[in-house]
Structure 1
Amino acid sequence: GSEVTQIPTILWKLKDSDAQMNCSHTKGSSYFQMYWYRQLPGEGMKQVVFITPSSQPDYSGEFSKDKYPTVKAVAESGSFTVKKLETGDSGMYFCAVSQHSDTDNKYRCTKTPVFQQDVT
């Protein structure tokens, strides 16, 4: 099986609801760094946030803790939420874990597609 697991594997959520994803791994406690990425349709992957159990989340560029709250209490798991879903939030969300800041040591999770759907 995969050493890094992302749950759920797909999310369908209504507009204005929250989409929470969880990431866990079996790489051991030395892999305590976690990265979350977003890929919108037709775009490249962008890093949203970097977090460790002993630090506050470090957000990249236009991303913020209000929209993407991220929690990591232990080395082996963490959670990531997209708050108040809008149409533009639909895309793929990825988790990766690392032992060091070296990209060669990242292990990507199974991706989670998130779809915002309107009430019909």
Structure 2
Amino acid sequence: MLKCSLVLSFAVLHTDLTDGSDVTQTPKLWKNEGENGTIDCSHTKGVDYPQMYWYRQLPGEGLKQIVLTTSYNKPDYQPDFSKEKFPVTKPDAASGTLTVKDLVAEDKGLYFCAVSKHSDTDSLNR
């Protein structure tokens, strides 16, 4: 059985400059094909940062957003990604998970967690 690696990193998106040290996630995950891989993400920015973004970068490709999650709305998936393949949890403002289900070799890549401050303009786009 082929081993898949989900190499993980993190980023922080908000209006203040930061070095990202207040966001942590699972550093590296090794799983077999067919298994599920779950990545944990948490931050210490406080309740003003309830939005959590998940991104993926496959080898030789650019960064793509998978989903935006909050603890108060349904996850907002990008067109190329589904809740069946990439289920998420967001129990509170400071934590969340992304699972990659039924791993295949093509899932190998970098997965990024990012957090954002809530903005009043978010409601204008809905």
The TM-score normalised by the length of structure 2 is 0.77
Instruction: Give ranges in structure 1 of 5+ residues lacking alignment.
Output: 102-120
In 1, Cα distance between equivalents of 2:29 and 2:60: 19
In 2, Cα distance between equivalents of 1:62 and 1:28: 31
Please list the CA deviations of residues 38-97 of structure 1 after superposition, one character each: whole Å capped at 9, or x if unmatched.
000000000000010011111002100000000001000000000000010000000000
The secondary structure found in structure 2 opposite 1:30 is coil
Q: Does 1:2 align with 2:14?
A: no
The percentage of counterpart residues that share the same residue type is: 57
The secondary structure found in structure 2 opposite 1:93 is strand
Q: Does 1:19 align with 2:29?
A: no
- Measured on the aligned residues, the alpha-carbon RMSD in Å equals 1.1
In 2, Cα distance between equivalents of 1:76 and 1:51: 12
Instruction: Quote the residue 1:98 is aligned against.
Output: 116
The secondary structure found in structure 1 opposite 2:97 is strand
How far is 1:100 from its partner? 3.1
Task: For 1:5, give the aligned amino acid.
Answer: T
User: Out of 36, 44, 50, which is 2:62 matched to?
Assistant: 44
Instruction: Quote the residue 2:103 is aligned against.
Output: 85
Instruction: Give ranges in structure 2 of 5+ residues lacking alignment.
Output: 1-19, 120-126
The secondary structure found in structure 2 opposite 1:88 is helix
The TM-score normalised by the length of structure 1 is 0.81
In 2, Cα distance between equivalents of 1:18 and 1:56: 22
Q: Does 1:31 align with 2:65?
A: no
